[in-house]
Amino acid sequence: MTQCLHKGFTLVELVIVLFFAFSPMLATQQLASATLLAQQAALAGNPSNEVTLSRNASSGELLLDVGSAYSFAINLEGAEVGHRSSDSASFSLLGSRSIRFDNKGWVNTPGVGRETVEFRISGSSGTTEFYICVSSLGAVYQTASSGNCHG
C-alpha cells in the first residue's frame, strides 16, 4: 500500500484566504452592487435611493449602506479610502459620503445635481493605489489612474 502525501492548499483554504484578504476588486464589486441596488430603488420610486459609504475607524472597515435594508462591510486592512467629485482638484479622506439617485437612475446630489464621484483606495504601504469611478449615469468602474473618470 503506497501512501501519497500532497503538499499545498485545498480549494476551500484558498477561497477562505482570498475572501478574508483585502481586495480592491472586491471593493469595486461591492460598491457596484450597492450602487446598483440604490439605482434600481430610485428607478422603482423607492425612497432607498441612496448609497452611503463610510469608514469605521475602530473596526477598519469600509461600510456601504443602501437605505436601511442592505449593508456591506469590507475590511480595509490598513488601506485608506479617499473621494472627490468631478469638479474637485484633490481627494478628501473618506469619513462619510452619500450618492443619491434620481428617478431616471442618474447620480443627483442635493444642491449639486449630476456629478461623477471618484474614489481612491491606497494600500497600507501607501504605494499601491486603485481608482473607482461612479459616473453621473450610475456606472461603476475601476480605472488605472486618477482623473480618468468621465461623467
3-state secondary structure of 141: strand
Which residues are within 8 A (CB) of 150 and not within 5 positions of it... i.e. 6 or more apart? 116, 133, 135
Residue 53: the pLDDT is 87
For residues 78 and 124, the answer to whether their CB atoms sit within 8 Å is: yes
The total number of residues shown for the chain amounts to 151
For 47-51, the CB contacts below 8 A with 24+ separation are 49/100, 49/101, 49/102, 50/98, 50/99, 50/100, 50/101, 51/98, 51/99
In this prediction, residue 39 has a pLDDT band, given cuts at 50, 70 and 90, of confident
pLDDT of residue 14: 44
Q: What is the pTM of this model?
A: 0.71
- 8-12, 89-93, 118-122, 134-138: lowest mean pLDDT where? 8-12
Rg (C-alpha) for the chain, rounded Å, is: 18
At 7 the pLDDT is 56
Q: In the chain, which residue ranges form alpha helices assigned H by DSSP?
A: 11-20, 24-43
Q: Residue 120: exposed, middle, or buried by beta-carbon count in 10 A (0-12, 13-18, 19+)?
A: middle
Amino acid present at 65: D
